[in-house]
């Protein structure tokens, strides 16, 4: 028995924010952003459009592609680090709004590795025999984490002068905020007794010895968990030590790809595509070079979406499938690394 992806879909908000729009908000430039990260534009969700809403767009798309309805799904897994509410997670929202029967929903939050962890969990649950068909969603809406009260409405075309204080405040977080965009992807994954297709092997890793490399305050460690001053001081904006995370990403992801290949008895050269988390074009290129693969085998779309966290892998998969870069019989390796640190890789035969 193998777990097979039978449909995929994406949910991308309409509003496109180009780098030059961000230069009105803070001391940055299109040149810096493109050179250091490869991002040219990203999409921002509308006010009130949560990760659950984006996830549902992708989920509907994936159900349609799989020729299935909500009645055919046995469980939903939702990966996000930006749920619509502190609790409950997005699973119950999706269950009710999309009209699923009272099936179990799992909410997981492994940040940029969320979708990869979801793939492994879906595969394991299907292999356990408990479920026949799972809907896996990865979605993040980062815009509420940005200092929205500092004039960010101009990214939606509301022209106004940014005060020097707002400009300075926004500039404090420029190494982080320019990288992210909002978006979602989803897959229908099901049990199949049909030959070679499906997930072959995966490995997940966690090392929590330095969570401060990439984390966000505001939680049960502080009482109360949110104070008005935290918002004013920018204490509820993620904290990232970019260079440290960069170094981890360019060694851990290729390492995980090599591990799954070797454990599955597959030569690296047999892999047709490595679908890597899209955090930075330079990271994607470093992964490709570390693995000694040609550029076309390690595709990227960060130019158009930025880092969508749980959305990157399914959006990239869906685009490659739609434009024909993914063909039947190919060997694909998914890999990701993110806050935690969590990372890993999964091998899949289309
Ligand atoms: O999704 C998984 C988690 N995230 C990641 O994987 C991200 C990993 N890290 C990275 O992608 C990169 O480290 C960044 C893109 C975040 C930063 O690139 P960098 O080449 O490591 O730059 P840096 O942070 O070392 O900053 C270099 C300079 C600094 O100026 P000085 O001190 O040299 O004068 C920064 O203040 O660039 C400045 N800078 C900026 N300048 C213009 C930082 N952000 C910006 C900006 N615009 N947006």
User: From atom 29 of ligand 1, which residue's Cα is the shortest distance away?
Assistant: 175
**Residue 29 sits in the same domain as residue 110:** yes
Q: Are residues 288 and 171 in the same domain?
A: no
Q: Do residues 31 and 170 share a domain?
A: yes
Q: Is 290 left (phi over 0), alpha (psi -120 to 50) or beta?
A: alpha
Report pLDDT digits (tens) over 230-285: 888 889 999 999 999 999 999 999 999 999 999 999 999 999 999 999 999 999 99
- Does 226 score more than 90 pLDDT? no
Checking if the pLDDT of 188 tops 90, the result is yes
User: Which residues are within 8 A (CB) of 241 and not within 5 positions of it... i.e. 6 or more apart?
Assistant: 212, 213, 214
Predicted confidence band at 223 (pLDDT cuts at 50, 70, 90)? confident
Helices then strands, counting H and E runs in the chain, come out as 12, 13
Whether the CB of 249 sits within 6 Å of ligand 1: yes
Best mutation site among 20, 27, 29, 36 for ligand 1, i.e. most ligand atoms within 8 A of its Cβ? 36
Q: Considering 307, 318, 333, 342, which one is annotated as catalytic?
A: 307
State whether 81 and 215 are in the same domain: no
pLDDT tens digits, one per residue of 33-50: 999 999 999 999 999 999
Preceding peptide of 53 cis, ω within 30°: no
Provide the Cα torsion 119, 42, 245, 243; round to 10°: 160
What is the rounded distance in angstroms from the CA atom of residue 297 to the CA atom of residue 324?
13
Mean of per-residue pLDDT scores for the chain: 96
140 and 15 in one domain? yes
For the whole prediction, is pTM greater than 0.95? yes
Tokens linked to 58: 């992708």
Assess whether 106 and 26 both reside in one domain.
Answer: yes
Tokens found for residue 85: 């509410």
Domain that holds residue 76: 2-192
CATH code of 49's domain: 3.40.47.10
For position 142, what pLDDT does the model report? 96
Res. 227 pLDDT band, cuts 50 70 90:
confident
| pLDDT for the residue numbered 159 | 83
| β-strands 239-240, 273-276 pairing | unpaired
Task: List the structure tokens of 5.
Answer: 């992806």
Cβ 312 vs Cβ 292: under 8 Å: no
Buried b (16+ CB within 10 A) or exposed e, 94-133: bbeebebeebebbbbbbbbbbbbbbbbbbbebbeeeebeb
Question: Above 90 in pLDDT, residue 312?
Answer: yes
Residue nearest to atom 42 of ligand 1 (CA): 28
- pLDDT score for 194: 80
Last residue of a domain, one of 192, 221, 245: 192
The answer to whether 234 touches 174, Cβ cutoff 8 Å, is no
Q: At what angle do helices 114-128 and 312-322 cross, to 10 degrees?
A: 80
**pLDDT value at residue 13:** 98
Same domain, 122 and 241: no
Listed range (31-40, 90-99, 159-168) with the worst mean pLDDT: 159-168
Q: What is the position in ligand 1's atom list of the atom closest to the CA of 177?
A: 48
Question: Which of 220-224, 311-315, 331-335 comes out lowest in average pLDDT?
Answer: 220-224
Is the pLDDT confidence value at 314 over 90?
yes
268 and 292 in a single domain? The answer is yes
Residues 14-24 pLDDT 10s: 999 999 999 99
Per-residue model confidence (pLDDT) at position 110: 98
CB 105 within 8 A of CB 300: no
For 112, left (φ over 0), alpha (ψ -120 to 50), or beta? Answer: alpha
Q: Does 131 share its domain with 220?
A: no
Per-residue pLDDT, 249: 98
Domain boundary among the residues 192, 222, 244 is at: 192
Q: What is the DSSP string of 203-251?
A: EEEE--TTGGGEE---STTSSSS--HHHHHHTTTS-EE-HHHHHHHHHH
Q: Are residues 106 and 217 in the same domain?
A: no
Contact 257, 345 (CB under 8 A): yes
Question: Taking 90 as the threshold, does the pLDDT of residue 74 lie above it?
Answer: yes
At residue 178 the predicted structure's pLDDT band, cuts being 50, 70 and 90, is: very high
Whether 72 has a pLDDT exceeding 90, the answer reads: yes
Q: Which of 192, 209, 242 is the last residue of a domain?
A: 192
112 is catalytic: yes
Q: Is the confidence at residue 216, as pLDDT, over 90?
A: yes
Query: pLDDT grade, residue 228 (50/70/90)?
Result: confident
- Active site annotation includes 175: no
């Amino acid at each position: 028995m193998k777990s097979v992806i039978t449909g995929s879909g994406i949910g991308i908000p309409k509003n496109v924010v180009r780098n030059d729009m961000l230069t009105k908000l803070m001391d940055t430039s299109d040149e810096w952003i493109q050179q250091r990260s490869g991002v040219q534009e990203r999409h921002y969700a509308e006010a009130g459009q949560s990760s659950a809403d984006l996830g549902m767009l992708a989920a509907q798309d994936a159900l349609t592609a799989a020729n299935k309805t909500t009645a055919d799904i046995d469980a939903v897994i939702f990966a996000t680090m930006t749920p619509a509410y502190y609790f409950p997670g997005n699973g119950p929202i999706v269950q009710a709004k999309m009209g699923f029967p009272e099936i179990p929903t799992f909410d997981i939050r492994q940040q940029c590795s969320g979708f990869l962890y979801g793939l492994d969990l879906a595969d394991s649950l299907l292999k356990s025999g408990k479920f026949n068909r799972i809907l896996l969603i990865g979605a993040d809406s980062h815009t509420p984490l940005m200092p929205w009260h500092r004039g960010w409405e101009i990214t939606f075309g509301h022209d106004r002068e940014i005060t020097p204080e707002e400009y300075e405040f926004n500039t404090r977080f420029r190494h982080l905020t320019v990288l992210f965009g909002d978006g979602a992807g989803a897959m229908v994954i099901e049990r199949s007794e049909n030959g070679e297709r499906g997930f072959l092997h995966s490995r997940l890793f966690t090392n929590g010895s330095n969570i401060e490399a990439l984390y966000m305050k505001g939680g049960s460690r502080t009482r109360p968990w949110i104070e008005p001053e935290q918002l004013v001081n920018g204490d509820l904006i993620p904290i990232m030590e970019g260079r440290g995370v960069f170094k981890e990403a360019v060694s851990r992801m290729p390492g995980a790809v090599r591990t799954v290949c070797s454990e599955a008895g597959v030569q690296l050269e047999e892999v047709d595509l490595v679908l890597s988390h899209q955090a930075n074009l330079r990271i994607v290129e470093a992964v490709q070079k570390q693995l000694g693969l040609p550029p076309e085998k390690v595709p990227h779309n960060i130019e158009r979406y930025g880092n969508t966290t749980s959305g990157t892998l399914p959006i990239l998969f869906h685009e490659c499938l739609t434009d024909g870069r993914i063909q039947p019989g190919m060997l694909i390796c998914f890999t990701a690394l993110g806050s935690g640190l969590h990372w890993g890789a999964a091998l899949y035969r289309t």
